[in-house]
Structure 1
Amino acid sequence: MAAPKFQIQKDSFHAELKRRIQDYFQEEGISTTGNYKLYTKAIILTLGLLLFYIHVVFFTPESALLAILECIILGILTAGIGFNIVHDGSHGSFSKIKKLNSIAGLFLNLLGANEFMWNTKHNVIHHAYTNIDGVDDDLDAGPLLRLCETQKLRSFHRFQHFYFWAAYSMLFFYWAFFSDYQKYFTKKVGSMPLKKMKVSDHISFWAFKAVHIIFFAVLPIYTVGLLPWAIGFFAYGLVVGFVMSIVFQLAHTVRETHFPVASVATNRMEDEWAVHQLKTTANFATDNKLVTWFSGGLNFQVEHHLFPKISHVHYPAISKIVAQACMDFNIPYHNIPGMRLAVVSHVSHLKQLSRP
């Protein structure tokens, strides 16, 4: 499928919104990138990951339940690093220093995935063509799940609002051990061509995959044995997969969001890009400081999609500006009040799509 085009307007909503946000940062005299709050959080999460990894691998508790609990906490910390360090780093918003952004993004490679593939899939495709079936690879969970009406309905989808949690839990294993390799060898992200890889990108891909296997498989198997490692790694991977999946799904596949289709005749979308983002994206639990802290502000997904190069530490402040602009231009601004309500909306969306 060819990537569609968005409408171009002379006096666009996006231009006015960018002006208001730019005025805010100028008036406050602050940078759009991360600050001490982000760096403190990055240190806490990184040290936590290192401490739990060292303890569970080299000082494994005698109690199997305690060891599994530590693996679960390790999984939560991994997801937290993905949300807070990797995500901002890959968007260039972690720091004003370009090298620090690159280092933050490289954390993804150490944790099993690949930054080059992620940047193409997420930064280039998902952010540009959000919720457009056939282009946005995040919508492609088939055949296991049906996430929008244009996707084929299969008989087992009538149960998808019951088994989705199990499918989401497998994301980490699928991502690290299958989809990265699929993109690498097919040179595609879904239907979209992958940007040409340099020699350094090829070396990085294979080197970091090997490093991940050594630290998360070979070394633990050597210290604790094959079966204990398999149980612990499975618990770890399930937690990483589910936590990361549910946060991203609550932002795009809920009752409130749209799944626009391009005109068959012109291959153009109905709206300008910024309006498209507002229709296809939802915030959730924005008053919950713990969710905001842990998810790296991804519960302010509207602000993130409109301004991906602004660090998430600024989203609560600029959300008020975005909401007011939407009100002034009579454009929808989706904000689901709580985490529970967002999950209910997502399950309801899956249930609705389970029927013809």
Structure 2
Amino acid sequence: MAEPQPDPPLSPPPTNYISLEELRKHNTPQDLWISIHGKVYNVTNWLQHHPGGSLPLLNLAGQDVTDAFLAFHPKHASTFLHPFFTGSYLSNHTVSEVSRDYRNLLSTFTRMGLFERNRGVIASLFFIFFMFCVSVYGVLFGQTGLVRVGSGGLMGFLWIQSGWIGHDSGHYMIVSSKKVNRVLQILSGNVLAGISIGWWKWNHNAHHIACNSLDFDPDLQHLPFFVVSSRFFNSIFSCFYERFMKFDSFSRFLVSYQHWTFYPVMCFARLNLFAQSFMLLFSNRKVPDRGTEILGLIAFWIWYPLLVSCLPNWGERVLFVLASFSVTGIQHVQFCLNHFSAKVYVGPPNATDWCEKQCNGTLDVSSSSWMDWFHGGLQFQVEHHLFPRLPRCHLRRISPFVKDLCKKHNLPYNCVSFWKANVLTIRTLRNAALQARDVSSPVPKNLVWEAVNTHG
């Protein structure tokens, strides 16, 4: 009898490949595919559960998103991708030289432990708590009006510092416990500052993914008060707010003087953040921990008006509010300096030129190391946009590496003084304002005027 023969070895399953053109067809909420390291994933069912919100996935749908994925996710996040793998790979998958060097930097910083070591958080929290106590003490026991109103200014500085903590906790774990990290988010954002951390993450994630896209980046969409480009004169559709940003006669009037009104408006920009927070939390949009967020805002609108009511007269109450709002307006100016004078574009973000878009759309502000607390580390805006998960205490350390990356690949690395950044911002606003004034005059008919009036 012949001996039984062993079963032949199982051949590996055939590998399926799809083209980039085919991948691009899967770009709707009902059919959303992405590619990471050449592997194709169907993340349609993950869209409503994505911790960073649905917009980052929607904005990069149908693309190879490797660089963006690595920028925003820790290494262990890749272990959760397998259930979404389609079994297909991207044909002719290539990696550009700049992407390869960028990923090497990510690996280097990871081996150095920079993403785990976050210095100064406890000191920042104690500093915020100290300022809060001093401000409350000044209101309750201050002997002069100057001291009591000055306590309002201190409250503004407190809001700035709590804003940096909220910003950091939204990008990465500022403490080892996820629950404690969430508590600090609610305390620093909702309770102390009256701003929904859910709204901030929704807005800020969209900004990072589509940095300086006029129709996708909410941080450039400030009609009717400001525009940074004459392209807004065509009433651009906001893919973030899902509506047309109408450039009408009222907007034209405000924009025509925006370089004069910029700083006064920034003093009260917080009112818009209050409104945006409530609009999100009471909308039908999905918001994680909505109840906790609302309770946090309620707490703010109890303690802050109560503190103001403890002042002896209405004059001091008004001045206290003006002082706190005006000082925290410095932070709103800081955010604008990093992007208003940088390069802009129209259209969705392209994941294949991740580094190029982040460098083109950002501006660093040079400062001494002792001013890092004031800027929240975000004077290193190029570094932050390339490595958003990196704790701010390490941004100055990696700056030389980023400069070398930009130099090697001929990418812009714009860095100016705080004064120069203000000059550039006002110059950008003034240029757009003068163009808006030209639009208001039909004679002579310049290109901008014709563009607006042929738009219908």
**Range class of TM-score, shorter chain:** 0.7 to 0.9
Which has the higher relative contact order, 1 or 2, with Cα contacts under 8 A spaced 6 or more apart?
1
Q: Which string of whole-angstrom CA distances, capped at 9 and with x for unpartnered residues, describes residues 110-157 of structure 1?
A: 1211011111111x2111111111221111211011122321261342
Match of 1:81 in 2: 162
The answer (yes or no) to whether the contact 2:136–2:151 under 8 Å persists in 1 is no
Q: Which runs of 5+ in 1 are unaligned?
A: 188-193
Match of 1:352 in 2: 431
Paired residue type of 1:169: C
Match of 1:190 in 2: none
Seen in structure 2, the aligned counterparts of structure 1 residues 56 and 268 have a Cα distance that, compared at 3 Å, is closer
Paired residue type of 2:301: I
Task: Select 1:258's aligned residue among 328, 333, 343.
Answer: 343
Distance 1:279 1:245 in 2: 21
Distance 2:311 2:383 in 1: 45
Task: Select 2:153's aligned residue among 72, 76, 93.
Answer: 72
How large is the RMSD of aligned CA atoms in angstroms?
A: 2.4
Paired residue type of 2:338: A
Which protein has the bigger strand share?
2
Q: Which runs of 5+ in 2 are unaligned?
A: 1-54, 65-92, 234-246, 436-456
Match of 2:3 in 1: none
Instruction: List aligned pairs for 1:154-303, cutoff 5 A.
Output: 154-176=252-274, 178-187=275-284, 194=285, 196-198=286-288, 200-201=289-290, 203-222=291-310, 224=312, 227-240=315-328, 242-254=329-341, 257-262=342-347, 269=350, 272-285=353-366, 287-303=367-383
Seen in structure 2, the aligned counterparts of structure 1 residues 270 and 21 have a Cα distance that, compared at 3 Å, is closer
1:32 matched to 2:122: no
| C-alpha deviation, 1:233, in angstroms | 1.9
Task: Select 1:150's aligned residue among 222, 231, 253.
Answer: 231
| C-alpha deviation, 1:302, in angstroms | 0.8
| C-alpha deviation, 1:71, in angstroms | 1.0
- Residue identity (%): 21
Secondary structure at the residue paired with 2:232?
coil
- Corresponding residue pairs, total: 331
Bigger Cα displacement from structure 2, 340-349 vs 267-276:
267-276
Seen in structure 2, the aligned counterparts of structure 1 residues 348 and 81 have a Cα distance that, compared at 3 Å, is same
Instruction: List aligned pairs for 1:300-315, cutoff 5 A.
Output: 300-315=380-395
Distance 2:61 2:418 in 1: 34
Seen in structure 2, the aligned counterparts of structure 1 residues 341 and 89 have a Cα distance that, compared at 3 Å, is same
Distance 1:166 1:6 in 2: 42
Paired residue type of 1:54: V
Task: Select 1:136's aligned residue among 211, 217, 221.
Answer: 217
Seen in structure 2, the aligned counterparts of structure 1 residues 70 and 222 have a Cα distance that, compared at 3 Å, is closer
Distance 1:207 1:220 in 2: 20
Paired residue type of 2:262: F
Q: Which string of whole-angstrom CA distances, capped at 9 and with x for unpartnered residues, describes residues 242-290 of structure 1?
A: 1121111111012xx111122xxxx6649612211111011112x4223
Distance 1:244 1:3 in 2: 27
- Normalised to the residue count of structure 1, the TM-score between the two structures is 0.85
The answer (yes or no) to whether the contact 1:89–1:103 under 8 Å persists in 2 is no
Seen in structure 2, the aligned counterparts of structure 1 residues 280 and 6 have a Cα distance that, compared at 3 Å, is farther
Distance 1:24 1:268 in 2: 26
1:10 matched to 2:94: yes
